[in-house]
């Protein structure tokens, strides 16, 4: 592992993506408040209070949370592994090594396209769905990282031996192993 590489932030535009994302969420919740306002059975003050709460929440998310979130979304590309950090209060660091990558995807939604950012998704065999997602990367960076990773994977030399193998202890096995190698 090299220490020359350092943690890198994602694109600044990612803040705007987060702001848009949370605004949509708040707007959706606001629709419910509006509906509640029209329902007679629900007292009107409930709607007013909810609307106020949503407004406060929106201000916090957009002006406070999004910039902080951006600052604590970081990644590190080491020689043979990728690290990703996320979160301030609930902090998380996820790492995958290059030799376990199954496939790599770049995703870009309409808003992300507008902002010129994309998501780099690294898949391993470790679970269901995406294993490591780096959001908010400039498209060029995503492609560069992907190409670098693909090149690394292609160059990787895998030996015939397996990590778990009976060959280590069994006396009969080296012969069979050699035979298998011959046929490869």
Helix (H/G/I), strand (E/B), else coil: 118: strand
**Under rule CB under 8 A, residue 128 binds another protein:** yes
Q: Is 17 exposed, middle or buried (0-12, 13-18, 19+ CB in 10 A)?
A: buried
**Under rule CB under 8 A, residue 44 binds another protein:** no
**Under rule CB under 8 A, residue 110 binds another protein:** no
Contacts of 169 (CB under 8 A, 6+ apart): none
Among 5, 8, 99, 107, which residue sits at the site for another protein (rule: CB under 8 A)?
99
Nearest 10 degrees: Cα torsion 120, 146, 11, 91: 50
Among 4, 89, 110, 155, which residue sits at the site for another protein (rule: CB under 8 A)?
89
**Under rule CB under 8 A, residue 120 binds another protein:** no
φ, ψ (nearest 5 deg) of residue 85? -115, 145
**Under rule CB under 8 A, residue 100 binds another protein:** yes
- The residues that touch another protein, with contacts defined as CB under 8 A, are 1, 80-81, 87, 89-100, 124-128, 131-132, 156-170, 172-173, 176-177, 179-180, 183-184
């Amino acid at each position: 592992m090299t220490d020359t590489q350092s943690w890198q932030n994602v694109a600044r535009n990612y803040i705007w993506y987060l702001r848009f994302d949370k605004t949509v969420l708040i707007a959706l919740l606001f629709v419910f408040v509006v509906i509640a306002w029209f329902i007679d059975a629900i007292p009107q003050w409930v709607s007013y209070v909810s609307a106020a709460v949503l407004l406060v929440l929106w201000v916090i998310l957009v002006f406070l949370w999004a910039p902080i979130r951006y600052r604590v979304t970081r990644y590190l590309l080491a020689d043979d592994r990728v690290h990703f950090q996320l979160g301030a209060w609930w902090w998380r660091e996820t790492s995958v090594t290059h030799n376990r990558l199954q496939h790599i995807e770049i995703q870009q939604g309409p808003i992300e396209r507008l902002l010129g950012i994309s998501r780099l998704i690294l898949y391993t065999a470790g679970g269901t769905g995406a294993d490591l997602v780096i959001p908010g990367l400039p498209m060029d960076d995503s492609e560069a990282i992907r190409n670098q990773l693909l090149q690394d994977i292609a160059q990787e030399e895998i030996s015939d031996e397996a990590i778990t193998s009976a060959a280590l202890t069994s006396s009969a096995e080296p012969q069979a192993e050699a035979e298998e190698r011959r046929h490869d």
